[in-house]
Amino acid sequence: MQTYKAPLRDMRFVLHELIDAGQLAKLPGFEEATPDMVDSVLEEGAKLCEEVLLPLNRSGDEHGCTYENGVVRTPPGFKEAYKTFVEGGWLAVSATPDHGGQGLPELLSFVFDEMVCATNLGFGVCPLLSKGAMALLETHGSEQLKKLYLPRLADGRWSGTMCLTEPHCGTDLGLIKTKALPTDRGTYRVSGTKIFISAGEHDMSENIVHLVLAKLPNAPSGTRGISLFLVPKLMPKADGAPGARNGVTCSGIEKKMGIHASATCVLNFEDAEGWLVGEPHGGLRVMFTMMNAARLGVGLQGLGIGEIAYQSAVAYAKERRQGRALAGATEPAQPADPIIVHPDVRRMLLTQRALNEGARALGYLVALNIDLARRHPDADKRLECDEFVQLMTPIVKAFFTDCGSLAANLAVQIHGGHGYIREHGMEQLVRDSRIPQIYEGTNGIQALDLVGRKLGQNYGRLLRRFFHPAEAFVADNKDVAGMAEFIEPLAKGLERLRNATLSLAGRAMADPEEAGAAATDYLKLFALVSVGYMWARMAKVALEKRGEADAFYDTKLKTARFYFSRLMPETGSLFATVMGSKKSLMEMTADEF
């Protein structure tokens, strides 16, 4: 069965002992975000996720959303869970108090979202999109739109979507055909079809706010001609209450392999009234505010699935008896030993654990930097933190979701035949974990973003936001007692990453296909080294505190050793691949495939 208890001890370790989340309470507006308050909020969030969302996960998958005559109904219990969720203020943890939010750090919302994704990914899709819509409107919306829409998004009465993809185009948004015609009222009439729209229609909120990419008349070709429009499902009345139906309808929901509890809709816009957000033809830049937030949120989906897959696999491995330990029976009075005694089972469990805990540390560091970039009084520090977030966004999205899928598949393998059938819920995790690798830009697109945009941005300045602190950590700790087994492989990984970066940057300038051929392997190389940096930092804290009564620190050191001895060595093969040429990929003609 699916087993999950929020890993609060590890979360507190990362927040308070590793990245010093307490520093946020010194920033303007975050004075209440003390460690005690953060812990208290997370404990309550864990109860909600464990007691309300987790029990609905399997039933939501089996029942799924239903569609009839333009109406989408969520699985039984979801409306009630959503009501509990929004009444508790969980949708607006980090939203601005000016519009009904709690004004707490994004980091706190980030940690809570991991728990939501772990316990019920289908439920969590809708709040994720609403948060992204709030962030976009807060940054780019007019005062009129903010006043009307933000309070209703914040309290959950209304929910949000992002409408990008069309039947003939996915990532290549310059090909969109949706049109927006100006009216004499200062609004626009939006017409077109959008597909794969998560939470595009449902029965949990009383209204849905669609953020739609479309083109104005005589717009420039390609992405330079895209504008963004806010299109409500129901037109607001003078008092703000939802009124008549706008010209947007759901013509069907996709029959998906996973995340059945979240409707993926086909939306038809027929002269739907909308409002311009941002400048004409500047819609893609505006939408990136929501897209980047969504990419980090999707990364959390991978982390959440990885955690529930690990916990479920551990519970099964301790109970399932099969065979004997290779060194001799551990429980001779029983007919067989639990399978957790077998080295290969431990390899799979430790792979899940080391990747989850390493990703958690890196992800929370990214979230901390989001808050510092927004609130730190020093402008140079804000820039530094923002550029670190920019650099890490494609890594969080791609690597975390790849790890989540890996963890889910390992959970099936550990369960054996019981993992392949529905009863234990592991096959659901495999199906659910597959889409985060695709939506919000496939992981291959994330790799191209890292190589094609982030490497050369501002003359490589974004890269220095990672390399400088990581290399300084190596220099400062190479002679610290007990740290050699962690520092030496980290130093090797950093050297490989630096050399691969220099080589790839030079080759890509001469031939863009060289960048494309190496991008996915380069991103994974960067991710393994980044997570290795976090593991070395965690090992240092654990070494300093392992004399305490808490066995947590000894366990942390053992997991760190596994990461550096069993996972970090892959940087060697990735380095060799990145340093190779495009030839083996590109020399075949299309007809030869």
Catalytic residue numbers?
Answer: 440
What is the helix (H) or strand (E) element at residue 501, kind and residue range? helix 484-510
The rounded distance, in Å, linking the Cα atoms of 13 and 568 is 22
Compute the 3-state secondary structure of the chain and give helix, strand, coil in percent, each to the nearest 5: 65, 10, 25
What is the helix (H) or strand (E) element at residue 42, kind and residue range? helix 35-48
The rounded distance, in Å, linking the Cα atoms of 323 and 339 is 7
Task: Evaluate the CA torsion angle 488, 494, 499, 503 in order and state its sign.
Answer: positive
Closest CA to 320 of 306, 307, 338: 338
What is the helix (H) or strand (E) element at residue 542, kind and residue range? helix 512-545
Structure tokens at 383: 């820039």
- Please report how the helices 512-545 and 343-375 are oriented relative to each other, as an axis angle in degrees rounded to 10: 100
Q: Burial code of 24-36, b = ≥16 C-beta within 10 A, e = fewer? A: beebeebeebeee
Structure tokens at 368: 């901390």
Alpha helical stretches, state H, 202-326: 283-319
CB 124 within 8 A of CB 133: no
CB 363 within 8 A of CB 110: yes
Structure tokens at 382: 């804000």
The rounded distance, in Å, linking the Cα atoms of 589 and 593 is 7
Alpha helical stretches, state H, 88-203: 106-119, 121-140, 143-154
Closest CA to 516 of 467, 425, 453: 453
β-strand pairing of 188-198 with 264-277:
antiparallel
Which residues are CB-contacts of 12 (< 8 A; sequence separation ≥ 6)?
39, 42
Structure tokens at 1: 């069965």
Structure tokens at 257: 């392999």
Structure tokens at 587: 């020399």
